[in-house]
Chains A and B, each alone.
Chain A
Amino acid sequence: MNNAQMEILILAILTSLTCTLCGTFLVLRKMAMMSDAISHSILAGIAVAYLYTKNIHSPLLIIGATITGLLTVALVEVLKNTNLVSEDSAIGLIFTALFSIGIIIISKYAHNVHLDTDAVLLGEIAFAPFRRLNIGNIDFGPKAFYIIGSILILNILFISLFYKELKISTFDPALAFALGITPGIVHYGLMGVVSITAIGAFDTVGSILVVALMTVPPLTAYLLTNKLKHMILVSGILGILTGVIGYHVASLLDVSISGSMASVAGLIFAIAFIVKVIGVKPLNF
């Protein structure tokens, strides 16, 4: 395994770990499909910010994407609160509209940069080692390391600092409200973190794998555990496993890395499902 392959593998692991952390809470709050919505609609923010800056590596793109992520959540709530459409319709309407705007802008104005429509869905984890952080003449490794690394730290900080608040407002929103924890602030805080994570992961693994990594390992862990701390731990481990196995399968068969990671995540879920449904029953007689 050469240096570049090693870097891709590390990146895959870091990305999976980051996504599973905020994904755990997303799943527990029954907002799994929100990851789908956010990971698609941030494209509109990235595209508009690109039109403005004409630079694909500008930090404005991240800001634009975060705003769009939060905007998606807010718009879904506005639509739902009109009582004219149900929540799932609202999600389906908002993110497809934003995603369409993103795709239209990209195909019309940004056709030549790497922001093409395939990259949107699949990401470019295989190319990540080529974009390096150089200070002076010293090579500090791929830029993506630092991006995903800082997002991982952000996730760990957010969850460890607000662990209690997140836990209470997830399992008993009424109690959280009575204790003076404003559910809205926790909610939008989490959504902000999810949006930022989605952008970081979006760049390397694409919008669909963001959904896979945020929901599949946490839901597998949800099948296997009954405690929040265990669930976070197990889903983290499963995330790392997904990254490692997914990468190796992909390089063995020479196929899309992010696609193979999603498939492996699904396979692990299928095993857990079968063990849970078929394997546990004989013990009960």
Chain B
Amino acid sequence: MIDNITYLFKDYTLKTVILGCVILGITSGILGTFAVLRKQSLLGDAISHSALPGIVIAFLLTGSRSPVILLTGALFAGWFSSLCMMLIVRYTKIKYDGALAIILSVFFGFGMVMLSIVQKLPNSRQAGLNKFLFGQAATLLREDIFTMGILAAVSLLITFALWKEFKLLSFNSEFGNIVGFPMKKLDLLLTCLIVISIVVGLQTVGVVLMSAMLIAPAAASRQWTDRLEIMAVLGGLFGALSGITGAIISSSTSKMPTGPLIVLVSFIIFLFSLLFAPKRGILKKLYYTYNNNLKIKQDIILTNLYHSETKNIDSIIQNELWVFDKKLIKIIKKMEQANLLKRHDQSLELTLTGLKRVKHILLVGDSYE
């Protein structure tokens, strides 16, 4: 197993593939952060589907399969599609989601028409275009990596240079307007950068699933932090991690498309974050709710006991029937362990710590220190 892995890392093709996946993961993770925060998660879906006709038309026009040309086509198509969406939303009563669905399906359908034209061409050089549907990391060449790297570097550099502005755009664009930033232009620029980050991943993940690479790493990193900077860095890390893991699994098993695997890994990272994140995670919330409920119930028992004359369990049950049913004995046992009260058969007695806490509750209103 370990031999296999060390062998994998020595392999030249795999090094290229992994490099490609890392570039893809970092770019989409960082720019996805903005897409997710601005509730534009599905924009990526529409743009990536729309890139297909751009790729095919670029091939038809030039007859070349060089990544620079194909990805330029994808860029134009993606940019044009986002322009169409803006037009639809601005000039009609159709809402954002409707515009997304129209653009996504029509552009992709048109791409499929073009693809079926290309597939009938006599020369067989077009065979590689199909890989843009679901991605094929194994076929990445040094030239591809080079193009991807330049696109990624440009988009990330612009993002860092305009970090403050994009932050403003994401959280309070009206304020930005008042302060004098050109928010509409920034919005357009950020959309363009998202288009670029999608184009970077097209060869590896494919047009159909590329949107997941924008959403999943960013949605995962959102669970771990409340700071934009950390979220972006974590998003990039998660994206790179899913890219590497997916690429390795896909190249070590036969008949495994890379795109779906990378997406699945990023989804698992997302689920893990959703459950186990320290502050927002679901488990943490469940734990917090459980503890809080227990504390409230204990407080009710303690105050009841303090005021009650008979000091027995039945009277508490009678007073606060709506809170307790069968769990009362369990809670009382726990309170005995915490040395809050002592139990003699059916009657209860407050200990000194218990008494202190009741006094605190009655004075301050709750039992939190």
- Chain A positions within 8 Å of B, measured between CB atoms, are 27, 30-33, 35-36, 40, 82, 84-86, 88-89, 91-93, 96-97, 99-101, 103-104, 107-108, 111, 117-118, 121-122, 208-209, 211-212, 214-216, 219, 222-223, 250, 253-256, 258-263, 265-266, 269, 273, 276-277
Judge whether A85 and B112 touch: CB under 8 Å.
no
Judge whether B274 and A262 touch: CB under 8 Å.
no
* Whole-angstrom CA separation of A28 from B327 in the bound complex: 48
CB distance from A207 to the nearest CB of B (A): 9
Judge whether B264 and A89 touch: CB under 8 Å.
no
Judge whether B263 and A100 touch: CB under 8 Å.
yes
Mark each residue of chain B from 49 to 66: 1 if its CB lies under 8 Å from any CB of chain A, else 0. Answer: 100000000000000000
- Using Cβ atoms and an 8 Å threshold, which residues of chain B touch A36? 42, 45, 101, 104-105
Give the interface size bracket for B toward A.
Answer: 35 or more
* Whole-angstrom CA separation of A162 from B158 in the bound complex: 53
CB distance from A168 to the nearest CB of B (A): 20
* Whole-angstrom CA separation of A263 from B120 in the bound complex: 19
Judge whether B98 and A255 touch: CB under 8 Å.
no
- Using Cβ atoms and an 8 Å threshold, which residues of chain B touch A219? 94, 98, 101-102
Mark each residue of chain B from 188 to 200: 1 if its CB lies under 8 Å from any CB of chain A, else 0. Answer: 0000000000000
Mark each residue of chain B from 97 to 116: 1 if its CB lies under 8 Å from any CB of chain A, else 0. Answer: 11011101111111111011
Most buried by A among B45, B120, B280: B45
* Whole-angstrom CA separation of A265 from B102 in the bound complex: 9
**17 CB-based A-B contacts, threshold 8 Å:** A40-B208, A85-B222, A88-B39, A89-B39, A89-B215, A93-B219, A96-B215, A96-B263, A97-B212, A97-B267, A100-B267, A208-B109, A216-B105, A219-B94, A222-B93, A261-B109, A262-B112
- Using Cβ atoms and an 8 Å threshold, which residues of chain A touch B261? 100, 104
Most buried by A among B94, B101, B107, B256: B101
Judge whether B116 and A256 touch: CB under 8 Å.
yes
- Chain B positions within 8 Å of A, measured between CB atoms, are 36, 39-42, 44-45, 49, 87-88, 91-95, 97-98, 100-102, 104-113, 115-117, 120, 130, 133-134, 208-209, 211-212, 214-216, 219, 222-223, 255-257, 259-261, 263-264, 267, 270, 274, 280, 282
Judge whether B208 and A263 touch: CB under 8 Å.
no
Judge whether B280 and A93 touch: CB under 8 Å.
no
* Whole-angstrom CA separation of A269 from B45 in the bound complex: 20
Judge whether B267 and A96 touch: CB under 8 Å.
yes
- Using Cβ atoms and an 8 Å threshold, which residues of chain A touch B282? 82, 84
Judge whether A262 and B108 touch: CB under 8 Å.
yes
CB distance from A121 to the nearest CB of B (A): 7
CB distance from B115 to the nearest CB of A (A): 7
Judge whether B110 and A27 touch: CB under 8 Å.
no
Judge whether A121 and B208 touch: CB under 8 Å.
yes
* Whole-angstrom CA separation of A122 from B113 in the bound complex: 10
- Using Cβ atoms and an 8 Å threshold, which residues of chain A touch B130? 118
- Using Cβ atoms and an 8 Å threshold, which residues of chain B touch A256? 112-113, 115-116
Judge whether B212 and A96 touch: CB under 8 Å.
yes
Judge whether B110 and A262 touch: CB under 8 Å.
yes
B218 to chain A: closest residue by CB: A89
CB distance from A276 to the nearest CB of B (A): 7
Judge whether B280 and A84 touch: CB under 8 Å.
yes
CB distance from B314 to the nearest CB of A (A): 40
- Using Cβ atoms and an 8 Å threshold, which residues of chain B touch A108? 255-256
Judge whether A92 and B117 touch: CB under 8 Å.
no
